[in-house]
Amino acid sequence: MSRTLFRTKNVEQSILDTEEPEHALKKSLSALDLTVFGVGVIIGTGIFVLTGTVAKNNAGPAVALAFVVAGVVCALAALCYAEFASTVPVAGSAYTFSYASIGEFPAWIIGWDLVLEFALGTAVVAVGWSGYIASLLDNAGWHLPAALGTRDGAHGFGFDILAAALVLVLTGILVIGTKLSARVTSLVVAIKVTVVLTVIIAGAFLIEGKNYDPFIPKAQEVPAGDSLQSPLIQLMFGWAPSNFGVMGIFTAASVVFFAFIGFDVVATAAEETRHPQRDMPRGILGSLLICTTLYVAVSIVVTGMEHYTKLSVTAPLADAFKATGHPWFAGFISFGAAVGLTTVCMILLLGQTRVFFAMSRDGLLPRFFSHVHPRFKTPHRPTILLGVLIAILAGFTPLSELAELVNIGTLFAFVVVAVGVIVLRRTRPDLHRAFRTPWVPVVPVLSVCASLWLMLNLPAETWVRFAIWMAIGFVVYFLYGRNHSRLARREKATPEVVNPGPGAP
């Protein structure tokens, strides 16, 4: 049984499968498109909201260092992603990488995890976008009926028509073509980056040095709790993390990590890239570097404009300008946030459909979903299915408590990809690698440790929900995927040609 669970799909076969006409995606993306995708999905709620939250509650002005720490964790993972994406330029990201290195069952687990991560991420961002739009409409004197407006957390059962409409419109754009998606994203990212740069430049003239004192506030111990809302590390080891102080920076890093979620989505578009061996590393690493720089700059400016104890936790950038007597910037920033969240939603939806498409093409999900549109060459069936489901999810379901599942899903993917790099280096040293992760196995091991550390800082309740979703995935795999995968069918026909996976006899 273990032989079948860890059978691998070799890299050559993965690439060969992408050349089948009815399952082949159109190659239209460049390194610039990938970088824009990365910047488009990374710059979102994190830079507009989390800066104030972690500065006020965890790190003070040293929130800039928390962004650096979170950026380093992502950079370690990005180096691993870049090697895989340039070596195995196939849709599916971490799912495909795991299938080529560790085996079918781990690949299924990570694919199932990514489906949850991207679905919840898309829905959460759509609801956030709806809130910004509703606010702008209210300012203009236009009010949606209560039954069709946004929901406040878990209260109310109205249908969020704005969130659902956004998902459906973006679904249509993705069906028409990835290149069109890239053009729309380029325009929106240009607007979003303009807003961010405006904040940095204009805010720099409003900085007061006294607001940085102290830059790293004195540590305040957080009592260890016994509820599921406590970080898992408290429940396991009885260790109480600190707010503020040096350790407060690391606590803050586990929170602002949400601001970086999305760079791995770039890897899902590897199959649609014209020159993936060259352009994937540039897109992944380039977008991460740009966004980390912007995050650090914004956090330094905002904490310099207003003392961290007075920062707003809902709209820190806009409210900081209001506090300094520049209310016009508040509306401008709200507009930029609403526009920016559009691309975040679209690219997360793109990433999810590509993972679902790759799993379907491998037979782990029904093959019906692996056929591309005859004209647009996009995976229209899973795009439409998932778009409708997420629109319903965003319209009806309060998602605030589920947002942390996005964090744990991403970190789990980081761990699997890092392990996969080490395994594939040992099992297939002959493969041509256009980009090689430096200092293997040191960098992958550091990536695993850093990701696990941030996972342990998430609430135990998040781990419980994650375990439930994974349990459902196990059932689906053993009832359907294990016997319907293409490798299983090939094994029955010609068992000698199937790669049994690393470590198998």
- State pLDDT tens for residues 203-248: 999 999 999 989 999 876 555 444 555 666 666 666 655 678 887 8
pLDDT above 80: residue 434: yes
- State pLDDT tens for residues 35-61: 888 888 788 766 776 788 889 888 899
Q: Across residues 280-285, what is the average pLDDT?
A: 88
Indicate the pLDDT class of residue 124, thresholds 50, 70 and 90. Answer: confident
Cα–Cα distance between 114 and 130 in angstroms, integer?
Answer: 24
Rank 389-398, 438-447, 463-472 by mean pLDDT and report only the highest. 438-447
Name the 3-class secondary structure at 92. Answer: coil
Q: Name the residue among 184, 53, 137 with its Cα closest to residue 338.
A: 137
Backbone φ and ψ for 152, nearest 5 degrees, come out as -95, 95
Cα–Cα distance between 338 and 318 in angstroms, integer?
Answer: 13
Q: Name the residue among 178, 248, 177 with its Cα closest to residue 217.
A: 248
pLDDT value for 155: 44
Cα–Cα distance between 55 and 503 in angstroms, integer?
Answer: 47
Cα–Cα distance between 44 and 192 in angstroms, integer?
Answer: 9
pLDDT value for 167: 94
| Residue 266 CB partners (closer than 8 Å, separation 6+) | 34, 37, 38, 85, 280, 283, 284, 287
Q: Name the residue among 261, 268, 237 with its Cα closest to residue 111.
A: 268
Indicate the pLDDT class of residue 156, thresholds 50, 70 and 90. Answer: very low
- Output b/e per residue, 28-58; b: 16+ Cβ within 10 A: bbbbebbbbbbbbbbbbbbbbbbbbbbbbbb
- State pLDDT tens for residues 303-347: 999 999 998 766 788 788 888 888 788 778 878 877 878 878 888
